[in-house]
Chain A
């Protein structure tokens, strides 16, 4: 890759990502409204699209307020972590055969490492706010994300066993013969559920839990610092959707009448919609029920999935 192409990819990825995250604000509100028999934002611009602009302007021009009782350095640092870690994860995702920022051999591990970083922003943000609701949210968030990370990693190992690589581009290439959703459907389900927990979206929005904890870990945040959490959440959705597509739905692969990158975007979009639909339809389990579900059902299941996959691979190789 020459340097020009390299910078173009970085710039393109950043541009598309930030705009997608912003656009998702509008999309989610419109889709929720559609499913809930109401209009949603429909005034600013065509189909209310400019509400994104209005929201952004509002967030930027709000007073940059730090509560006097907060731990100032950490309070400012925390929202940056979530955005940074999610953006870093995108570096390893192959959007098309030669559109990838960093073609790591351990891309999958890098993704796992970066998504683990995300928990810091919740814990630090909740802790630095010095607010009881935020603290409760942070505690819930920490235990939820740390537990779900364990089998998120385990569920991916089935894919690694099948493709024989941690490199995401090679994983996609290995799916030319057939997408991994078929052999790895259990792994996919576990990964997707863990992904919802990682992005703490409804039904697993327990760290925020609006009706219980008001806004949970980001209760004290406002202005652009809140905006970072906000954007971070939407980019997290995009990231998990993109990962699902890469690992289980053949990434950019698709019939030739559309360019690979379009295939990738379309597939990702489907999963983003699934995230929004989940939010419109599910109640929220209790925190201990979530933990129980994770450790008693998903964890053993992901182990079994890995073992069975490995066994089949072993037998078919002989």
Chain B
């Protein structure tokens, strides 16, 4: 099935226009000429049978330092990469457009997918590639006064590579004036025919945004006329850091992307690395990974549950839920040693085997937690005031959700039973019995209901891990597994050498590219990695679910009130580090 798409495209656009490539992850990949990309994408989205309706990711690669031939030709200066997804085919498609020149430009596709808007802004911000026809092409993650485009290879990666920092008066003035708020710059009108609007900054410091997020509201009374999220306050350059970390030492950085998801981030990253390296992860390691991931899903959903209740004014649930989260963390701590960021998965497996007595901790939690979930149902989900605040608020249809790149519980709340763990199983999820909860209306209440039901399913998965935990290795014996199993090093010289090299330099991962996609706590999380056969990645692209979700906020909050906006934000379950990376 996946192979046929290139043939379909070839017959539509003529042989030779599109060049096929076979990457290491086996995803159908096609090089297309940049000037025809709009027609091709338009065709893929609407005209082809079983269309690719979701723009999963849009990013770019600075190829100028890439020292290898690609697909039989010398590398372009830049490559813009589109990842599409088709629900009918259950398949991804990777489309690449090569560009030449220092600051190239290419046509925008914002009129095909609304969610391309922020992605194209991000590419412009990070690479300086301009998109012709983009309605609002300005920096999105970096400050407007930033010089240079960070993900270009010539941009320094750390302060010591730059000159000494000096703050002249004129620079102070420039920064100060950039902070002035001028509604026109954000595409907002000051008044309509019969009313002057009020502009209200929600954030960057605000109790309702759960992080440094600024949303500029254009208000008519308390009604939202328009909203503009201003993101980037939490941007730490995780993608740039990847380019100077070894494949192994990048793992802790992933923990901090979706900082409530913990090891779930490790998994998304490692699935890509393991595809590149061709490592089979032993069964026991897979089940351990699944168990930890599901524990973190519960922990993350508990934080969301409590804070959502707090957002609509209920003060107490958050305390009960954080207490339960603490119980989850007790298990995680006993197994990993860490709590929120255990950094515990390794290339080819996990850091250690499970400790003695882990099964008792998990069993206690499994018998304890369902009772609490029932209690929370009564306290929150069945509360009349809670319902009044969330039912019918922030509705989007399935069509809109797919158009805007909504994934995870937000997508399932629109009625589509689509869970990556079920549909494209990874790390052995195909061996587990669980259901995919869905809802029908796509409002804030349904999104909450799906998440609550998910916690019960996670508990089921954990229970199966507990009952059927296989014996065996917790780490692969593949030479690229890092660090190699220690006890072998004192017995054979091969392992000793690998251990030494993989720890001192880091493993050399074969050249190529691979992408993963997991059902993370908040939606689909994926790492698109490009290796040029070195000890560190050539390009790390982190596709996070919160980014497109946040982009949708203006669309779903118009004509609601300020109070409703807080319900919408609360039901969305975003993490600022997951948006800004």
Mask: chain A, 261-298; 1 = CB below 8 Å from B; 0 = not: 00000000000000000011111111111000000000
Q: Which residue of B199, B314, B319 is within 8 Å of A282 (Cβ)?
A: B314
Q: Does A202 lie within 8 Å of B563, measured CB to CB?
A: no
| Residue of chain B at shortest CB distance from A202 | B313
B290-337 with Cβ < 8 A to chain A: 309-316, 319-320, 323
Is A284 within 8 A of B313, CB to CB? yes
* A100 CA / B54 CA spacing, docked (Å): 73
Complex Cα distance, B319 from A214, in Å, reads: 20
Query: Known contacts A36-B320, A212-B208, A287-B563; is A282 also within 8 Å of B313 by CB?
Result: yes
Contact assessment for B316 and A281 in the assembled complex, using a CB-CB cutoff below 8 Å: yes
Q: A214-B206, A289-B388 given as contacts; is B315 within 8 A of A280 (CB)?
A: yes
- Kindly state the separation between the CA atoms of A182 and B309 in the bound complex, as whole angstroms: 36
The answer for the CA separation of A279 and B315 in the assembled complex, in Å, is 7
Is B561 part of the binding interface, using a Cβ–Cβ cutoff of 8 Å? yes
Contact indicator A132/B198 (Cβ below 8 Å): yes
Distance of A209 Cα from B313 Cα, bound (Å): 7
B125 at the interface (CB under 8 A from A): no
Say yes or no: is A52 at the interface (Cβ < 8 Å to chain B).
Answer: no
User: How many contacting A-B pairs (Cβ < 8 A)?
Assistant: 75
Q: A136 near B222 (CB under 8 angstroms)? A: yes
| A-side contacts of B310, CB under 8 Å | 211
One digit per residue, 1 when the CB lies within 8 angstroms of any chain A CB and 0 when it does not, for chain B 188-225 equals 00000000001110000011100000000000001000
Asked if B383 is at the interface of the complex by the 8 Å CB criterion, the answer is yes
Complex alpha-carbon distance, A36 and B386, angstroms: 19
Residue with the highest number of chain A CB atoms closer than 10 Å, among B208, B313, B315, B562: B313
State the CA gap A36–B316 with chains docked (Å). Answer: 6
Contact A136 B562, beta carbon cutoff 8 Å: yes
Do A37 and B319 touch (CB < 8 A)?
yes
Known: A136-B222, A214-B207. A205 touches B313 (CB 8 A): yes
Is B7 in contact with chain A by the CB < 8 A criterion?
Answer: no
| Closest-CB distance, A165 to chain B (whole angstroms) | 38
Interface residue ranges of B552-566 to A (CB < 8 Å): 561-564, 566
Check if A62 is an interface residue, CB within 8 A of chain B.
Answer: no
Q: Contact between A286 and B200 (Cβ–Cβ < 8 Å)?
A: no
A184 to chain B, nearest CB (A): 25
Complex Cα gap A283–B387 (Å): 10
A64 at the interface (CB under 8 A from B): no
CA distance in complex: A209, B312 (Å): 9
* A275: min CB distance to chain B, Å: 13
Is the CB of A210 closer than 8 A to any CB of chain B? yes
Alpha-carbon distance A94/B316, docked complex (angstroms): 36
1/0 per residue, CB under 8 A from B, across A199-222: the answer is: 000110100011111100000000
- List the B side residues contacting A212 at CB < 8 Å: 208, 562-563, 566
Q: Which residue of A lies closest to B313 (CB)?
A: A284
Q: Is the CB of B200 within 8 A of A133?
A: yes
Question: Is A35 positioned at the interface, with any CB of B under 8 Å from its CB?
Answer: yes
Q: Tell me whether A37 and B323 are in contact (CB under 8 A).
A: yes
Across the interface, B383 reaches (CB within 8 A) one of A36, A133, A209, A283, namely A283
Q: How far is the CB of A42 from chain B (nearest CB, A)?
A: 16
User: Which of A210, A279, A282, A287 sits near B385, CB closer than 8 Å?
Assistant: A282
Residues of B near A282 (CB, < 8 A) are: 313-314, 385
Chain A contributes a number of interface residues (CB within 8 A of B) equal to 28
Residues in B with CB closer than 8 Å to A136 are 200, 222, 562
Contact with A along B374-403 (1 / 0, CB 8 A): 000000000101101100000000000000
Q: Is the CB of B561 within 8 A of A288?
A: yes
- Check B313 against A203 for contact (C-beta < 8 Å): yes
Chain B residues 457 to 482 lying within 8 A of chain A, measured CB to CB, are: none
Residues on the A chain within 8 Å of B319, using CB: 36-38
Residue A24 lies at the interface, judged by CB distance under 8 Å to chain B: no
Alpha-carbon separation in the docked complex, A132 to B221 (Å): 11
Please tell me if the beta carbons of B563 and A283 are within 8 angstroms of each other in the complex: no
Answer yes or no: A32 CB below 8 A from chain B CBs. Answer: yes
Contact partner of A36 (CB less than 8 A), chosen from B311, B315, B385, B566, is B315
Which residues from 150 to 207 on chain A have a C-beta closer than 8 Å to any C-beta of chain B?
Answer: 202-203, 205
CB 8 Å contact bits of B345-386 with A (1 = contact, 0 = none): 000000000000000000000000000000000000001011
Shortest distance from the beta carbon of B550 to any chain A beta carbon, whole Å: 18
Q: Is the CB of A287 within 8 A of B561?
A: yes
Nearest Cβ on chain B to A284's Cβ, whole angstroms: 3
User: Are B316 and A280 touching (Cβ within 8 A)?
Assistant: yes
Q: Is the CB of B563 within 8 A of A209?
A: yes
Contacts of B206 in A (CB 8 A): 214
A202-B316 Cα distance, complex, nearest whole Å: 12
CB distance from B392 to the nearest CB of A (A): 12
How near does chain A come to B383, taking the closest CB pair, in angstroms?
Answer: 6
> In the assembled complex, how far is the CB of residue B75 from the closest CB belonging to chain A, in whole angstroms?
50
State how many angstroms separate the Cβ of B371 from the closest Cβ of chain A.
15
Shortest CB-to-CB span from A78 to chain B, Å, is 21
The reply to whether B315 and A287 form a contact with Cβ atoms under 8 Å apart is no
Docked Cα-Cα span, A32 to B315, in Å, equals 9
CA distance A205 to B563 in the complex (A): 13
Given that A287-B222, A288-B561 are known contacts, is A35 also in contact with B389, CB under 8 Å in the complex?
Answer: no
Shortest distance in angstroms between B299's beta carbon and chain A's nearest beta carbon? 18
Interface residues of B in 562-577 (CB under 8 A from A): 562-564, 566
Q: Is the CB of B309 within 8 A of A283?
A: yes
Given known contacts A132-B198, A211-B208, A211-B566, A283 and B561 CB-to-CB distance under 8 angstroms: no
CA distance A229 to B496 in the complex (A): 70
* A281–B320 alpha-carbon span in the complex (Å): 12
Query: Which residue of A is nearest B320, CB measured?
Result: A37
If A38-B319, A202-B313, A212-B566 touch, does A283 touch B385 (CB 8 Å cutoff)?
yes
The answer to whether B385 touches A211 (Cβ under 8 A) is: no
Given the interface pairs A38-B319, A286-B388, the reply to whether A211 lies near B313 with Cβ below 8 Å is yes
- Report the separation of the CA atoms of residues A203 and B309 in the bound assembly, to the nearest whole angstrom: 13
Chain B contacts of A287 at CB under 8 A? Answer: 222, 561, 563
Report the separation of the CA atoms of residues A287 and B389 in the bound assembly, to the nearest whole angstrom. 10
Task: Write the A22-36 contact mask toward B (1 if CB under 8 angstroms, else 0).
Answer: 000000000010011
Query: Are A284 and B385 touching (Cβ within 8 A)?
Result: yes
Residue pair B561, A210 in contact (C-beta under 8 Å): no
Q: A37-B319, A132-B198, A202-B315 are in contact. Are A285 and B388 (CB under 8 A)?
A: yes
Complex Cα distance, B314 from A210, in Å, reads 11
CA A282 to CA B312, docked complex, whole Å: 9
Q: Give the complex CA separation of A263 and B310 in angstroms.
A: 37
**CB neighbours of A284 from chain B (8 A):** 312-314, 385, 389
Residues in A with CB closer than 8 Å to B200 are 132-133, 136
A31 to B181, CA, bound (A): 44
* Closest-CB distance, B393 to chain A (whole angstroms): 9
Least Cβ–Cβ distance between B569 and chain A, in angstroms:
10
A residues in contact with B198, CB < 8 Å:
132
Given contact pairs A205-B313, A209-B313, A211-B313, A286 touches B564 in the complex (Cβ within 8 A):
yes
Query: CA–CA, A37 to B314, complex, Å?
Result: 15
Determine which of A211, A213, A288 lies in contact with B311 in the assembled complex, contact meaning CB atoms within 8 Å. A211
Chain A residues closer than 8 Å to B320, beta-carbon distance = 36-37
A116-153 near B? 1/0 per residue, CB < 8 Å: 00000000000000001100100000000000000000
Q: 27 pairs across A/B with beta carbons < 8 Å?
A: A32-B316, A36-B316, A38-B319, A132-B198, A132-B200, A202-B313, A211-B311, A211-B312, A211-B313, A212-B562, A212-B563, A212-B566, A214-B206, A214-B207, A280-B315, A281-B316, A283-B385, A283-B386, A284-B312, A284-B313, A284-B385, A285-B388, A286-B388, A286-B561, A286-B563, A287-B222, A289-B389
- Across the A-B interface, give the 4 residue pairs with the lowest CB-CB distance, nearest first: A284-B313, A283-B314, A36-B319, A283-B385
Supplied contacts A283-B385, A283-B386, 18 more A-B pairs, CB within 8 Å: A35-B316, A132-B198, A132-B199, A133-B200, A202-B315, A203-B313, A205-B313, A211-B310, A211-B566, A213-B562, A282-B385, A283-B314, A284-B389, A285-B389, A286-B388, A286-B389, A287-B222, A289-B388
Enumerate chain A interface residues (CB-CB to B < 8 A).
Answer: 32, 35-38, 132-133, 136, 202-203, 205, 209-214, 279-289
